Amino acid sequence: MGVNPLLPDAPQAESGTWTHADRRWMQEALRHARHAGAHLHEVPVGAVLVLGDRLLGAGCNQSIQRHDPTAHAEVMALREAGIAIGNYRFPDSTLYVTLEPCAMCAMALVHARVGRVVYAAPDPKTGAAGSVFDTLISPRHNHRINVDSGLYAGLSAHLLRDFFKDRR
């Protein structure tokens, strides 16, 4: 593959300073995104759900493969985590995802009581973590999620652009 695009000195996001753990887990989400695009021929989005230093669940987009419009990366990670720990709620956990969650995924994260979401690239068409909708932080819900964005945004956007370019 040549040069590793996961450079440890990627630019900081406007929302804060990235920890080593943030970088590690987003790199894992990017690995799942690459798998979705290269091997499953799905839109390359990956997600991992973490509690402390423990991986609870991971997933990538699988809507086409599973004939399931809800099989987004975030939902797949939540499903795997639920099975792993025997619960549907994940307080104090962090979800790392390569693309800003859509409204469906954002509400699943709210219902799951995820504590924090870190996403790489914004989604200016359907993003529900601030780009189009503010679902994760809406005062209308009884749970709000801390949101950080921009970690490896350029790399994630590049994966998406290349995927759609190759499909045209």
74-110 pLDDT tens trace = 999 999 999 999 999 999 999 999 999 999 999 999 9
Percent with pLDDT over 90 in the chain? 88
What value, to the nearest 5°, has the Cα angle with vertex 33 and ends 121 and 22? 60
> Is 60 in contact with 73 (CB distance < 8 Å)?
yes
Residues 6+ apart with CB under 8 A from 80: 49, 56, 57, 58, 59
Which residue in the list 14, 28, 42, 74 is annotated as catalytic? 74
What value, to the nearest 5°, has the Cα angle with vertex 116 and ends 122 and 143? 105
The pLDDT, as a whole number, for residue 129 is: 96
Specify the DSSP element, H or E, that contains 160.
helix 153-167
Main-chain dihedrals φ then ψ at residue 14, nearest 5 degrees: -65, -20
Helix crossing, 153-167 with 20-39: angle to 10°?
A: 0
The pLDDT, as a whole number, for residue 14 is: 46
What value, to the nearest 5°, has the Cα angle with vertex 107 and ends 106 and 112? 100
Task: Read off the pLDDT band of 9 (50, 70, 90).
Answer: very low
Helix crossing, 20-39 with 73-85: angle to 10°?
A: 110
The pLDDT, as a whole number, for residue 16 is: 59
Is 28 among the catalytic positions?
no
Task: Read off the pLDDT band of 6 (50, 70, 90).
Answer: very low
pLDDT at residue 50 tops 90: yes
